[in-house]
């Protein structure tokens, strides 16, 4: 969200709140200075790409904490430094080659103490003042100047500007201010008198200045590799795709509590297959059967056994969306059930060279209560989804080293919360895979939803899923914009396909999306009917409220047609601010986006926590701990309303000055239907 200039308090003009595209653009604009800072630590482009990647994601995640341009610059640099230190400490990658002049400088910088190196780079690369550098390093200005002097002295020794420097120690501390013309006149006169009569200080000062100028010259000449940001932007796009998949379209239920989100969005498992391992003339597995009947896959029966646990690969179906593997796990010694976690303990040999890293496979949570998985105590039927192949066919060398041990009381929550016992071993397979073709239809249908532009772009029929590709205008109408869309169903060839609650993806174009539906098992489509379910909307609506800890609380104020209470403003270690609104009837917002401004905005760290309730379409309320994946799917039309917001401002008795609200989010239920002819 872009805050209007009159209220954005000096945030960078090319940055808007929680907008990943503008944050990446900001880093691209400032990549040179950050690249050199990173190079002074890492000396390896692969690690530098990782460094930028991690910092950008951190900036996007914590952006609500940023209050001004100064805060943003300083805060991002501080995060960048922390990541530099982490990666440098690993020492796992050899340094890349660089030009001799640059290599000489960075070899010398590498020998300096950490804070000396940072002080030099901040000052002579990024052009920061001593005060800004002091804020970054959390030191006094005096200490920063001492670091700069000692750093340049150490650097010139490394660069061999003379071998012996015997300047007078009591005057060396003035070199920096003297060369920077920052000395007061009486002190400057005394300093110059001493220099005039001291040959050692003359030589010492000259070599100090030479090293200083050489540092600046090398920094100015440093060039970063062409296209450096491109691979980082691709990774960011992939991560955004993965985030949206793993978050289970978290905009479905607004800004919900993290514990409940985990139930809905952090699972990577799949439902069961069939009752018992045997084959007859017809396939009894209801999920696998239609694929085999359509000749989209074959029975494989690849088996590997370790420590009495047998894994059987039943079949594989591959397309442009995923490589879908049906499996069965049998405990041959005990009555235990095991399941595979795609994200942990599953490896594909040479995955980067044989699979499309731009795609992250879809997934569904496991149906642990299915009749099929209840029938045998020692057998579990499931499926996992891998990335799609790059080529039309190949051999997937799959290695499994870890599984989860289920119990009769196991829940979906247990499968991701670490509440299950692990089983370790080695099960290896060589799986022959043939990628099935997909059929694409260009739709090019422009529509309006709630007065906002939406474009239906493509219908894609793949063996494992039906995909609807659409886009939403980035610069949307006024203060209102669409964050996400849920579809109820897609009707193709008079067959109604249910929307995949956990599927779909954000595409690398930043504002393109794919909604996922059940597979059609047909290669041609005539007419389609798209049924909408709900929109997730955001509104820009700025309001600033002065906070005064000396006043009596609670106090209330109006916002978006509601009455919000400021329950507490308490200065301390930490400072605490509590807001609430328990009246959710006819409330315009489900959650609002805000920040607390303090007198020391550059150095504050803010923690936010919230409470809320779920409300179904009839208005019935549910406690957050009542909502399970099964209940969530059954109720469908759930909205999450925040009721309490708690803010902790870390620091020493920081006084909050204002509550700044930037806008709010809400959900709109729809029954819109769009019909498109493909004939």
531 has pLDDT over 90: yes
Q: How would DSSP label each residue in 401-467? A: EEEEEE-TT--HHHHHHT-SEEEEEEEEEEEEEEBPP-EEEEEEEEEEETTEEEEEEEEEE-SS-EE
Cα 512 to Cα 471: distance, rounded to the nearest angstrom? 4
What's the pLDDT score for residue 136? Answer: 77
Cα 221 to Cα 229: distance, rounded to the nearest angstrom? 19
Cα 347 to Cα 301: distance, rounded to the nearest angstrom? 20
Mean pLDDT, the chain, whole residue set = 78
What's the pLDDT score for residue 283? Answer: 64
Span 488-508, average pLDDT: 84
What's the pLDDT score for residue 241? Answer: 65
Q: Who wins on pLDDT, 56 or 115?
A: 56
pLDDT band at residue 131 under the 50/70/90 scheme: confident
What's the pLDDT score for residue 557? Answer: 95
Q: Tens of pLDDT along 171-209?
A: 887 887 888 777 888 788 888 888 888 888 888 888 788
CATH of domain 439-537: 2.60.40.1640
The answer to whether 284-434 and 439-537 have equal CATH topology is: yes
Question: Do 398 and 346 form a contact (C-beta atoms < 8 A)?
Answer: yes
Considering the domain 284-434, what is its CATH architecture?
Sandwich (2.60)
Question: Do 618 and 635 form a contact (C-beta atoms < 8 A)?
Answer: no
Span 111-120, average pLDDT: 75
Span 20-34, average pLDDT: 81
Cα 625 to Cα 615: distance, rounded to the nearest angstrom? 13
Residue with tokens 């509104």: 539
pLDDT band at residue 560 under the 50/70/90 scheme: very high
Residue 413 in tokens:
């929550």
Residues facing 461 on adjacent strands: 439, 466
Span 150-158, average pLDDT: 74
Residues 6+ apart with CB under 8 A from 459: 440, 441, 443, 466, 467, 468, 469, 492, 525, 528, 678
pLDDT band at residue 562 under the 50/70/90 scheme: very high
Which is it for the CA torsion 229, 231, 237, 242, positive or negative? negative
Question: Do 377 and 404 form a contact (C-beta atoms < 8 A)?
Answer: no
> Sheet containing 309-318: which strands, arranged edge to edge?
299-306, 309-318, 323-331, 379-386
Nearest to 491 by CA among 463, 513, 522, 464: 522
Cα 480 to Cα 539: distance, rounded to the nearest angstrom? 5
Q: What angle do CA 87, 88, 94 make, to 5 degrees?
A: 100
What's the pLDDT score for residue 165? Answer: 63
As to burial, measured by CB atoms within 10 angstroms (0-12 exposed, 13-18 middle, 19+ buried), residue 262 is middle
651 has pLDDT over 70: yes
> Residue 624 gets which letter from DSSP?
G
Q: Domain ranges in the chain?
A: 20-221, 284-434, 439-537, 538-664
Q: Who wins on pLDDT, 224 or 260?
A: 224
The rounded percent of the chain whose pLDDT value lies above 90 is 27
Q: Tens of pLDDT along 251-283?
A: 443 333 333 333 333 333 333 333 223 333 356
CA distances from 281 to 284, 289, 293, 326, 327 (A): 9, 11, 12, 19, 20
> Residue 227 gets which letter from DSSP?
T
Residues facing 447 on adjacent strands: 454
Q: Tens of pLDDT along 564-604?
A: 999 999 998 889 999 999 999 889 999 998 888 887 655 56
Task: Write down how long the chain is.
Answer: 679
Span 526-548, average pLDDT: 92
Choice among 41-55, 502-516, 528-542 with the minimum mean pLDDT: 502-516
Nearest to 244 by CA among 483, 65, 517, 537: 483
CA distances from 624 to 260, 520, 593, 615 (A): 7, 36, 21, 10
What's the pLDDT score for residue 213? Answer: 79
Q: Tens of pLDDT along 443-488?
A: 989 999 988 899 999 999 999 999 999 988 654 545 888 888 999 9
Q: Tens of pLDDT along 400-430?
A: 999 888 876 665 555 555 567 888 899 999 9
């Amino acid at each position: 969200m872009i805050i209007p200039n009159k209220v954005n308090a000096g945030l960078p003009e090319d940055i808007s709140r929680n907008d990943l595209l503008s944050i990446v653009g900001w880093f691209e604009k400032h990549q040179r200075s950050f690249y050199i800072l990173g190079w002074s630590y890492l000396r390896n482009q692969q690690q530098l790409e990782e460094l930028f990647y991690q910092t950008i994601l951190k900036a996007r995640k914590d952006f609500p904490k940023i209050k001004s341009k100064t805060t943003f610059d300083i805060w991002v640099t501080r995060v960048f430094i922390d990541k530099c230190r982490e990666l440098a400490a690993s020492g796992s990658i050899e340094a890349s080659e660089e030009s001799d002049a640059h290599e000489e400088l960075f070899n010398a910088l590498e020998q300096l103490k950490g804070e000396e190196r940072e002080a030099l780079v901040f000052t002579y690369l990024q052009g920061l003042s001593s005060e800004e550098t002091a804020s970054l390093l959390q030191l006094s200005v005096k200490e920063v100047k001492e670091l700069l002097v000692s750093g340049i002295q150490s650097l010139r020794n490394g660069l061999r500007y003379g071998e012996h420097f015997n300047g007078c120690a009591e005057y060396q501390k003035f070199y920096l201010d003297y060369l920077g013309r920052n000395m007061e006149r009486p002190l400057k006169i005394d300093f110059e008198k001493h220099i005039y009569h001291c040959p050692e200080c003359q030589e010492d000062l000259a070599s100090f200045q030479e090293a200083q100028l050489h540092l600046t010259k090398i920094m100015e000449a440093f060039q970063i590799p062409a296209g450096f940001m491109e691979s980082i932007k691709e990774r960011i796009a992939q991560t955004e795709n993965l985030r949206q998949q793993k978050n289970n379209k978290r905009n479905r239920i607004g800004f919900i509590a993290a514990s409940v989100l985990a139930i809905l969005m952090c699972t990577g498992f799949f439902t069961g297959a069939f009752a018992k391992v045997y084959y007859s003339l017809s396939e009894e597995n209801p999920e696998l059967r239609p694929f085999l009947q359509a000749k989209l896959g074959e029975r494989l029966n690849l088996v590997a056994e370790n420590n009495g646990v047998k894994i059987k690969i039943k079949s594989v179906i591959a397309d442009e969306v995923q490589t879908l593997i049906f499996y069965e796990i049998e405990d041959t010694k005990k009555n235990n059930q095991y399941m595979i976690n795609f994200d942990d303990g599953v490896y594909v040999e040479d995955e980067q060279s044989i699979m499309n890293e731009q795609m992250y496979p879809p997934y569904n949570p496991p149906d642990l209560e299915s009749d099929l998985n209840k029938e045998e105590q020692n057998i579990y039927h499931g499926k996992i989804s891998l990335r799609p192949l790059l080529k039309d066919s190949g051999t997937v060398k799959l290695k499994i080293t870890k599984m989860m041990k289920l119990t009769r009381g196991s829940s979906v929550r247990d499968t991701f919360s670490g509440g299950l016992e692990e089983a370790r071993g080695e099960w290896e397979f060589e799986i022959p895979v043939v990628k099935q073709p997909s059929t694409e239809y260009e739709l090019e249908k422009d529509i309006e939803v709630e007065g906002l532009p939406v474009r239906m772009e493509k219908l894609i029929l793949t063996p494992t899923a039906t995909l609807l590709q659409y886009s939403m205008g980035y610069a949307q109408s006024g203060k209102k914009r669409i964050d996400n869309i849920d579809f109820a169903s897609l009707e193709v060839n008079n067959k109604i396909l249910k929307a995949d609650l956990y599927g779909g993806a954000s595409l690398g174009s930043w504002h393109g999306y794919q909604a996922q539906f059940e597979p059609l098992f047909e290669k041609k489509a005539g007419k389609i009917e798209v049924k909408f379910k709900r929109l997730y909307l955001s509104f820009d609506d700025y309001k600033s409220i002065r906070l005064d800890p000396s006043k009596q609380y609670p106090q209330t104020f109006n916002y978006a047609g509601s009455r919000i209470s400021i329950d507490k403003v308490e200065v301390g270690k930490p400072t605490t601010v509590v807001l609430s609104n328990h009246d959710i009837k006819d409330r315009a917002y489900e959650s609002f986006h805000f920040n607390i401004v303090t007198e020391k905005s550059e150095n504050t760290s803010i923690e936010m926590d919230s409470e809320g309730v779920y409300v179904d379409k009839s208005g019935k309320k549910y406690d957050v701990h009542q909502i399970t994946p099964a209940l969530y799917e059954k109720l469908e039309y759930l909205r999450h309303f925040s009721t309490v917001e708690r803010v902790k401002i870390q620091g020493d008795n920081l006084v909050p000055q204002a509550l700044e609200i930037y806008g709010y989010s809400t959900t709109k239920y729809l029954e819109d239907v769009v019909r498109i002819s493909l004939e």
